[in-house]
């Protein structure tokens, strides 16, 4: 028999042990953990997407086709670099060396001596003034007129692809979170039904002394709210630890050039303070799901019994 007292010194009207067992806390904690992991992953994907888009949209690349001798291509690339440097709204222009261009394709072709023999286009990286961006269409037209073998790439296709891929991943993450929230609601409804069944006598006595359904529901809701907070904290702390150790583990396990590229693509797996703050939000969401579901679940059950 539970003799536990509340902080006010009064025994809880419904004993906690009869409402929520340890198994329920663990099930909800696992849900909270998975929910937090998914929320963190969605946050990091979004973070990565924003970083990528901000990088990509502030830069354009001019590609100089390798037509003619090396010397000719080199001269042309320098002329284009000078031309671009003179343009308004251009912050910085950098002509990539042949070695730098070769390095960019190295992850796909490997370190082979034949790279030096390949007709690799010369690339010019142009940093734009994001506050006063140039008119890319007219810049492209001018460039094509003046230098027919040069092509301007504003990375629009790449941006769209990033948006599409990250948007799909975020939607998938949100769908998974919704599914987990629905599963949590189902678990709580079922637990509320069992709690009422195992506390039938208490519910009857409360009815006899004139308690309204909302009062009775509140007695159960308080226990479920506590379960939600406990389970949410366990889940969020677990997920927080995963996110904290993830970059350390990937640093230890990685090192190859391809790993660097992949990390550049999907991010480092490092979560910032806002990310950890979003895990706190998960605790609030889990606690709210437990509390609201039990409130409405218990009231519905009592209402059906009292009709």
Partner 1 sequence: MIRLEKMGLRYGLGQEVLRDVSFHLLPGSFHFLTGSSGAGKTSLLKILFMSLRPTRGAAYIFGKNVTRATPEQRASLRRRVGIVFQDFRLLDHMTTWENVALPLRVHGKRQSEYADDVTELLKWVGLGERMHAYPPVLSGGEKQRAAIARAVIGKPELLLADEPTGNVDPQMARRLLRLFIELNRLGTSVIIATHDYQLMTQFPAPRLVLDKGALNIHS
Tokens at residue 61, please? Answer: 């690349």
Residue 303's contacts (CB-CB under 8 Å, 6 or more residues apart) are: 213
Q: Which is nearer to partner 1, 47 or 213 (CB)?
A: 213
Q: Which is nearer to partner 1, 235 or 297 (CB)?
A: 297
Could you tell me what percentage of the chain is helix, strand and coil, using 3-state DSSP and rounding each to the nearest 5? Answer: 70, 5, 20
Pattern of binders to partner 1 over 161-200, x per CB under 8 A?
A: ----------------------------------------
Sheet holding 90-95, edge to edge: 90-95, 122-128, 59-64, 150-153
Residue 284 binds partner 1 (CB under 8 A): no
Under a CB-based contact definition with an 8 Å cutoff, are residues 60 and 153 in contact?
Answer: yes
At 29 the three-state DSSP class reads helix
| Binding residue for partner 1, selected from 6, 11, 105, 164, defined by CB under 8 A | 11
| Binding residue for partner 1, selected from 145, 210, 256, 274, defined by CB under 8 A | 210
Distance between CA atoms of residues 191 and 297, nearest Å = 10
| Binding residue for partner 1, selected from 25, 151, 202, 262, defined by CB under 8 A | 202
Distance between CA atoms of residues 173 and 162, nearest Å = 16
Residue 21 binds partner 1 (CB under 8 A): no
Q: Which range of residues in 10-18, 106-114, 124-132, 134-142 is near partner 1 by CB under 8 A?
A: 10-18
Which residues of this chain interact with partner 1, rule CB under 8 A? 1-3, 8-11, 13, 15, 201-202, 204-213, 215, 302-303, 306-307
């Amino acid at each position: 028999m539970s003799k536990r007292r509340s902080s006010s010194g009064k025994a809880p009207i419904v004993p906690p042990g009869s409402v929520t067992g340890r198994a329920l806390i663990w099930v909800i904690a696992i849900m909270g953990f998975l929910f937090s992991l998914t929320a963190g992953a969605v946050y990091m994907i979004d973070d990565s997407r924003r970083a990528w888009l901000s990088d990509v949209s502030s830069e354009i690349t001019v590609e100089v086709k390798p037509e003619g001798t090396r010397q000719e291509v080199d001269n042309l690339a320098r002329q284009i670099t000078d031309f671009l440097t003179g343009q308004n709204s251009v912050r910085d222009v950098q002509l990539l060396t042949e070695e730098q261009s070769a390095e960019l394709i190295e992850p796909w072709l490997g370190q082979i001596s034949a790279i030096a023999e390949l007709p690799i286009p010369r690339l010019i990286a142009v940093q734009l003034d994001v506050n006063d961006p140039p008119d890319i269409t007219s810049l492209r037209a001018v460039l094509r007129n003046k230098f027919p073998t040069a092509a301007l790439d504003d990375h629009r296709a790449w941006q769209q692809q990033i948006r599409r891929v990250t948007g799909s991943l975020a939607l998938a993450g949100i769908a998974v979170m919704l599914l987990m929230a629905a599963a949590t609601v189902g678990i709580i409804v079922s637990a509320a039904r069992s709690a009422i069944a195992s506390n039938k006598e208490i519910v009857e006595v409360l009815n006899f002394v004139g308690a309204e359904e909302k009062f009775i529901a509140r007695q159960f809701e308080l226990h479920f709210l506590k379960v939600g907070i406990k389970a949410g904290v366990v889940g969020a702390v677990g997920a927080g630890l995963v996110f904290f150790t993830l970059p350390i583990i990937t640093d230890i396990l990685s090192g190859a050039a391809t790993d660097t590229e992949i990390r550049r693509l999907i991010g480092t797996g490092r979560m910032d303070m806002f990310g950890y703050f979003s895990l706190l939000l998960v605790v609030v969401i889990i606690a709210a799901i437990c509390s609201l579901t039990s409130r409405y679940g218990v009231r519905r059950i009592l209402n059906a019994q009292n009709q």
